[in-house]
Amino acid sequence: MYKILVVDDEEHIREVIKEYAEFEGHEVDEASDGMQAIEMAKAKDYDIIIMDIMMPRLDGYSACKEIRKYKQTPVMMLSARGEEYDKLFGFEIGIDDYVVKPFSPKEVMARINAIVKRNSTASAQTSASDTEKFEGLEINFVSRNVYIDGVKANLTPKEYDLLFYLVRNKNIALTRNKLLEEVWGYDFFGDDRTIDTHIKMLRNNLGPYRKFIVTLRGLGYKFEV
């Protein structure tokens, strides 16, 4: 059973998601705006937050940024806007998925299951000795800290996940579909551009050590050392 927070100013959207989620045995709380969502997320631990972007009082992007200061709960954004800019901005601030309205409730539930399972698997794989160092790049899987020449890097949650997976599979060629399946947790709903965009952002944040992420033309990427 998952604990899900659904945040949307449209009551019927909340009702649809709640109906499908409760049918699968999950617990659902509702919020009608970003400010309410922040207070609820602070007070209770959720497995995932499903949040609309355009809401009164505080929009979804701002609410997500504020929640990220306290917790790393996975966030799925809902929006009537499907422009690439909106999706990329969402991923840059650390959301885990982006769904365009109108949506299929069954697809949303499939995405929820994939995100939560991936998050749980990633947490279970860590151990106290999980630290890797490559020249001036230091990666601690347990604390989820990355240091560039001793300075802590500021990555989004998805960039951490992507880097950790690449490093754990260093020197192995990884296709875009493989990365989408393993890092995002699904292989049917994604887009190759999602991978390329996150690789670009990750490289920018790694500075001189971007060299370790090698592009395999027509295939994907690998962390080469």
CATH class of 131-223: mainly alpha
CA of residue 25 relative to chain centroid, distance: 23
Could you list the mean pLDDT of each consecutive 10-residue stretch along the chain, which spans 225 residues? 94 95 95 95 94 92 89 88 77 84 91 83 56 92 88 88 92 90 64 84 94 93 94
CA of residue 211 relative to chain centroid, distance: 24
Q: What CA dihedral angle connects 51, 27, 113 and 24, to 10 degrees? A: -130
Cβ atoms of 219 and 110 within 8 Å: the answer is no
Residues of CATH 3.40.50.2300 domain(s) within the chain?
3-124
Q: Which is it for the CA torsion 180, 194, 50, 61, positive or negative?
A: positive
Best CA proximity match to 153, nearest among 97, 204, 225: 204
**Cα-based distances in Å from 216 to 20, 58, 173, 176:** 41, 42, 8, 10
pLDDT reported for residue 85: 75
Residues of CATH 1.10.10.10 domain(s) within the chain?
131-223
Beta-sheet pairing, 97-100 with 48-52: unpaired
| Number of Cβ within a 10 Å radius of residue 182 | 19
pTM of the predicted structure, to 2 decimals: 0.62
What DSSP string describes 84-108? Answer: HHHHHHHHHTT-SEEEESS--HHHH
Cβ atoms of 6 and 14 within 8 Å: the answer is yes
**CATH architecture observed for domain 3-124:** 3-Layer(aba) Sandwich (3.40)
First CA to last CA distance, the chain: 41
pLDDT reported for residue 51: 95
